[in-house]
Amino acid sequence: MSLSTELKALAAQEGFDHCAVAALTQADHAAYFLRWLDEGRHGDMGWLARDPHRRIDPTRVQPGAKSVVLVALNYFQEPAPHTGRMARYALGLDYHDLMLPRLERLAEWMAGQGGVQRAYVDTGPVLEKVWAAKAGLAWQGKSTMAIHPRSGTWFFLGSVLTTLELEPDAPMADHCGSCTRCIDACPTGAIHAPYQLDARRCIAYLTIEHKGAIPEEFRSLIGDHLYGCDDCLDVCPWNRWARETREAGFREMARPDLGTMLDWEVADFDRHFRGSPVHRLKLSRWKRNICVVLGNTGTAGDLPALRRQAASADSLVAEHARWALKKLECANRS
């Protein structure tokens, strides 16, 4: 049995749905990635622009690395109905905490075979989607999301850079064909052309990564998206074969109504979301997002809570609450 075959068997034992290997070379999308950064399409995700050549040359991250191991873990589930939609990946516990210990156990096994490794779950300077395509685990669709022919778009990626020379898998061809459903479904035009994403217009970026005020031109377009956006994933025809996740930790957490959460203090937010991807957002941006959603979907019953937040000492929350109030009050007058 080859090392690659043994490794894949271990990955399956750890609960990963897919595992594949690529030989390390410079990333195929290196020129595109550098141009994307130069055009500022990464917004204020400044870490992407720090020493970008490390992201396109993994040997700068792990000297002597010869292979990259990619794993995928399915997170799909149908969410319960709520006012305020959340991206499916954030409905349960933080995937970093669930995946990294398993990846580190794979890395420990590789160390026993003489390798030196670095394991990452969406936290290191590794272009996971590019390597997933090179390893034959997925292809990068027109939405720029990774797509697997049986799992669709609903999976997390993890990677291990290793000095072991593992048997690589064949790259996966692009199977998007003439389909443009993801492009057509994007509410803000963030996918402005096939395989071209401007993060500055993306609802996931605006409601999660962006730290400041959400530009007014996008607030109405955000609709009821409270945290992230699955619109381009929902319409992908490859998701017809998606199956519910086996991971109990990804199961959806209950949450109160938006008005209740708008009056939360920091301790309330921490108590409810600790261990969830939402927790890194912090209370201020969570309330910012609630205000936008209420401005788009709220009723007269939400006005008192919004008025309280319009007087908040937190300028970010107050500004978005005033916007929501103005929008709701205009709607109630008409």
Find residue 85's DSSP bridge partners.
Answer: 225
pLDDT digits (tens, 9 = 90+) for 93-145: 999 999 999 999 999 999 999 999 999 998 888 999 999 999 999 999 999 99
pLDDT given for residue 29 in this prediction:
80
Residue among 109, 112, 130 nearest 8 (CA): 109
In the predicted model, what is the mean pLDDT of the chain? 95
pLDDT digits (tens, 9 = 90+) for 29-60: 888 888 999 999 999 998 888 888 888 889 99
Distance from C-alpha of 171 to C-alpha of 186, rounded to nearest angstrom: 28
Distance from C-alpha of 275 to C-alpha of 149, rounded to nearest angstrom: 31
Beta strands at 85-86 and 225-227: parallel, antiparallel or unpaired: parallel
Q: What are the φ and ψ backbone dihedral angles of 20, each rounded to 5 degrees?
A: -150, 165
Cβ proximity of 116 and 14 under 8 Å = no
pLDDT given for residue 311 in this prediction:
97
Segments in the chain below pLDDT 70: 26-27, 334
Residue among 87, 82, 91, 84 nearest 293 (CA): 84
**How many residues belong to the chain?**
334
Question: Is residue 122 flagged as an active site residue?
Answer: yes
- Which class for 25: exposed (0-12), middle (13-18), buried (19 or more C-beta within 10 A)? exposed
Residue among 72, 245, 40 nearest 155 (CA): 72
Q: Which of 122, 224, 268, 314 is catalytic?
A: 122
For the chain, domain boundaries = 3-162, 255-325
